[in-house]
A and B are shown apart, each in its own frame.
Chain A
Amino acid sequence: MLKITDLVKRYGGGDPVLKDLSLEIPGESVVSIIGSSGAGKSTLLRCINKLVEPTSGSIVLNGTELTRLRGRQLREARRKIGMVFQSFNLVDRLTVMENVQSGRLGYISTWAAIMRRYPREDVRRAYELMERVGIAHYANKRADELSGGERQRVGVVRALMQKPEILLADEPTASLDPKTSEQIMGLLRDLSRELRLPVLINIHNVHEAREYTDRIVGMRYGRIIFDDLPAALDEEAMERIYSGSPAADRAGDMRQAS
């Protein structure tokens, strides 16, 4: 269970990007966060694993307060949080297996990491997960030889190798074509059920959010202004979340803006 209370993030002296934001994600469920570019979706996700340092507030994951962690303790906490990225963020010149095993780097010795001597159970688990998402036959291929959808599957497996307690996905389908997007969203939903894993997804595509997630959180200007079942997201709610901003057609600028 993830509990965020009064989270504030301010860059420099400007207006805060996140304003006293509170959010609770109990147990296994797929939650999507929607909102226009610059609403603070990506910052919120990155505050959770502290790729972005929160200014104030509290984030508690299964009883551990994350905001005050540093160094080794922070790394140990991050191991329990898997993350999937918009542009996959794979190491192109390494094989799929090495990319997948890099999710376990926090657990194995430096020597084993450099010599690529991965523990037997990690290798077996990697093959199982890769087969589950349909990329097992690519284990020895270099990551840059794969197509976009396949690369995102590698990204998902890398995150799952961490045996995470929560999975964060930052626009996981924004770089993919519509059909592959739907496959990846379906995969995230199914994996959440199978592994009893809470999944938090930033997403631009409202249709996919409705279709594949259990709950939708709408953000605007650093605040949560909608939080309900997908069925409750009507025209009026959409208007409140997106009004006055050229939202959906600015997907490209998203990463810089948020």
Chain B
Amino acid sequence: MSTHPDTWQRPPFISNPVLRWGVYIGAIVYVVWTLAALPIDWQRVAEGLVRAQRIFGGAFPPSFERSGLLIDGFLESLKIAILATAGGVLLSIPIAFMAARNIAPLPVFYLGRAMIIVARSFHPVIVAIIFVKAVGFGPFAGVLTLIVYSIGFVAKMLAERIEEIDFGQVEAMRAAGAPYFSTLFYAIFPQIMPRQVGLTIYQLDSNLRASAVVGIVGAGGIGATLANAFGRYDYDFALAITMVIVAAILLSEAFSGWIRKKI
């Protein structure tokens, strides 16, 4: 049986050879060219090692001396997260209905989707600096920021859930002659409530994470404490704050996972 071939090649992922080599070469050229073109000061980077040593030297052991400041900052973050979750989730419900294709008329649908896209596209830090400029430094800007952030996620997921609901139940209500809002409460809310509760708890967890960073641009909470410590080269205090943030995030993640499992 000498007619059998004795070489074999894996069928390539992209069968067209021109396109395949084009993609390979393109990727290599892109990486090399980008790395070369990025404005990187290599001497500065090399000095960074020395500086890193100084920073980490200064950071150990972490200092919990000003723990009053630390606790205040953390509690403020927690308050921001709670208020933003409450506000964001409440606002998400009407927006989600607006953005559900099977419920809303077309112009309203587009408006709802646009609100969600805008809320999702901007990183909370960008939203935060705008609110800080508009309403001043402090936790209020943080709450507004995270309300926008919550809408971006909760309204999107909720709208998708509304689009998946069993419409038979709605028709049954309508057939029974129920008015619009009764239909809403009896046929649609029961179908979306479990998802909404899960989303709310998840969003509380996300908001607590995000509240740690919006403070860096002046929107209150523990992020502000951290940015201050960094700015004053208090690396030991900064490390203490970071450790508290990490611990809080792990706890809140475990807690939210536990609650969502119980529901």
On A, residues with C-beta under 8 Å from B are 95, 97-98, 116, 118, 120-121, 123-124, 126-128, 131, 139-140
* Count of A-B residue pairs with CB < 8 Å: 29
Is B10's CB under 8 angstroms from A128's CB? Answer: no
Q: Cβ of B1 < 8 Å from any Cβ of A?
A: yes
Q: Cβ of B121 < 8 Å from any Cβ of A?
A: no
Task: Say whether, besides A95-B10, A95-B11, A98-B10, A128 and B5 are in contact (CB < 8 Å).
Answer: no
Task: Say whether, besides A128-B1, A131-B1, A116 and B10 are in contact (CB < 8 Å).
Answer: yes
Is A128's CB under 8 angstroms from B4's CB? Answer: yes
Is B1's CB under 8 angstroms from A123's CB? Answer: no
Nearest B residue to A94 by beta-carbon distance? Answer: B10
Interface membership of chain B positions 3-39, coded 1 if the CB is closer than 8 angstroms to chain A and 0 otherwise: 0111111110000000000000000000000000000
Chain B contact surface mostly: loop
19 A-B interface contacts by CB (under 8 A): A95-B10, A97-B8, A98-B10, A116-B9, A116-B10, A120-B6, A121-B6, A123-B6, A123-B7, A123-B8, A124-B4, A124-B6, A126-B8, A127-B4, A128-B1, A128-B4, A131-B1, A131-B4, A139-B8
Is B4's CB under 8 angstroms from A140's CB? Answer: no
Count of interface residues, chain B, beta-carbon cutoff 8 Å: 9
**Nearest CB in chain A: distance from B63 CB, A:** 50
Residue numbers in A under 8 Å from B11 (CB-CB): 95, 140
**Nearest CB in chain A: distance from B13 CB, A:** 12
If A139-B8, A140-B11 are given as contacts, then 12 extra A-B residue pairs at C-beta distance below 8 Å, sorted by A number, are A116-B8, A116-B9, A116-B10, A120-B7, A121-B6, A123-B5, A124-B4, A124-B5, A124-B6, A127-B6, A128-B1, A131-B4
Q: How far is the CA of A128 from the CA of B6 in the complex (A)?
A: 10
Q: How far is the CA of A8 from the CA of B135 in the complex (A)?
A: 79
Q: How far is the CA of A118 from the CA of B4 in the complex (A)?
A: 15
Residue numbers in B under 8 Å from A139 (CB-CB): 8
**Nearest CB in chain B: distance from A129 CB, A:** 10
Interface centre among B1, B4, B8 (most CB of A within 10 A): B8
Nearest A residue to B11 by beta-carbon distance? Answer: A140
**Nearest CB in chain A: distance from B197 CB, A:** 38
